[in-house]
Amino acid sequence: MPGKEAHAEKYRKVNDYDIKKLSISAEHGEDIDLRMMFSQLHVYEDIYSNNVSGVIIIKDTVNLISNLPINGREKVKFSFITPGLDGVPAEKEATVYKVDEIVRTQGQRGQLYKLFFTTEEKITNEYTKVSKSYTGKISKMVEDILGEYLPSAELVTNRGTAEVHRFIMPRWSPFKCINWLAGRAESQEKPTQSNYLFYEDMDGYHFTDLGFLFDQEPKAKYTYNPISGHQVYGTEGPEFSDLNKAFYNATGFRVTSAFDTLNRLDEGMYASTLTTHDITKKKFETYTYDYKAEFGNTNHIYGNPLTSGTDMLHGRVDTKFHYQPKQDKQHTEGVDPDNLKYENWFLSRKSLLVQAHGQKIEIEIPGNSSLRVGDVIDFSYADMKELTKESSEYIEKTFSGYYLISAIHHMMEGEHYRCNLELIRDSRYEQIPVSSSLSSRSDSSAFAGGGN
User: Pairing between strand 18-25 and 32-33?
Assistant: antiparallel
What is the full DSSP assignment across 220-254? EEEEE-TTTS-----SS-S-HHHHHHHHTB-SEEE
- Rounded Cα distance between 244 and 3, Å, is 18
Domain span(s) for CATH 2.40.10.10 in the chain: 18-120
- Rounded Cα distance between 155 and 80, Å, is 22
pTM of the predicted structure, to 2 decimals = 0.90
pLDDT digits (tens, 9 = 90+) for 19-63: 999 999 997 778 899 999 999 999 999 999 999 999 999 999 999
Domain span(s) for CATH 3.55.50 in the chain: 125-211
Looking at residue 22, its pLDDT comes to 97
Task: Name which of 112, 26, 30 is nearest 72 in CA terms.
Answer: 26
- Rounded Cα distance between 4 and 50, Å, is 29
State whether residue 206 is helix, strand or coil: strand
- 239-242 long-range contacts (CB < 8 A, ≥24 apart) are 240/11
Q: pLDDT of the chain along its 452 residues, tens only? A: 334 444 447 888 889 999 999 999 997 778 899 999 999 999 999 999 999 999 999 999 999 988 898 888 899 999 999 998 888 899 999 999 999 989 988 777 889 999 999 999 999 999 999 999 999 999 999 999 999 999 999 999 999 999 999 999 999 999 999 999 999 999 999 988 999 999 999 999 999 999 999 999 999 999 987 655 433 333 344 444 578 888 999 999 999 999 999 999 999 999 999 999 999 899 999 999 999 999 999 999 999 999 988 888 888 999 999 999 998 887 766 667 888 899 999 999 999 999 999 999 999 999 999 999 999 999 998 776 655 555 555 678 889 999 999 999 999 998 899 999 999 999 999 888 776 666 544 444 444 444 44
Looking at residue 452, its pLDDT comes to 40
Looking at residue 339, its pLDDT comes to 87
Task: List C-alpha distances in Å: 292 to 270, 310, 314, 317.
Answer: 8, 10, 6, 12
- Rounded Cα distance between 230 and 365, Å, is 11
Looking at residue 444, its pLDDT comes to 45
CATH superfamily to which 18-120 belongs: Trypsin-like serine proteases (2.40.10.10)
Looking at residue 385, its pLDDT comes to 62
Looking at residue 336, its pLDDT comes to 73
Domain span(s) for CATH 2.40.30.150 in the chain: 216-259+357-434
Q: CATH: 3.40.630.30, 3.40.50.2300, 2.40.30.150, 3.40.50.300. Which one for 216-259+357-434?
A: 2.40.30.150
Looking at residue 87, its pLDDT comes to 80
Q: CATH: 3.90.550, 3.90.640, 3.55.50, 3.30.70. Which one for 125-211?
A: 3.55.50
| Count of beta carbons in the 10 Å neighbourhood of residue 105 | 12
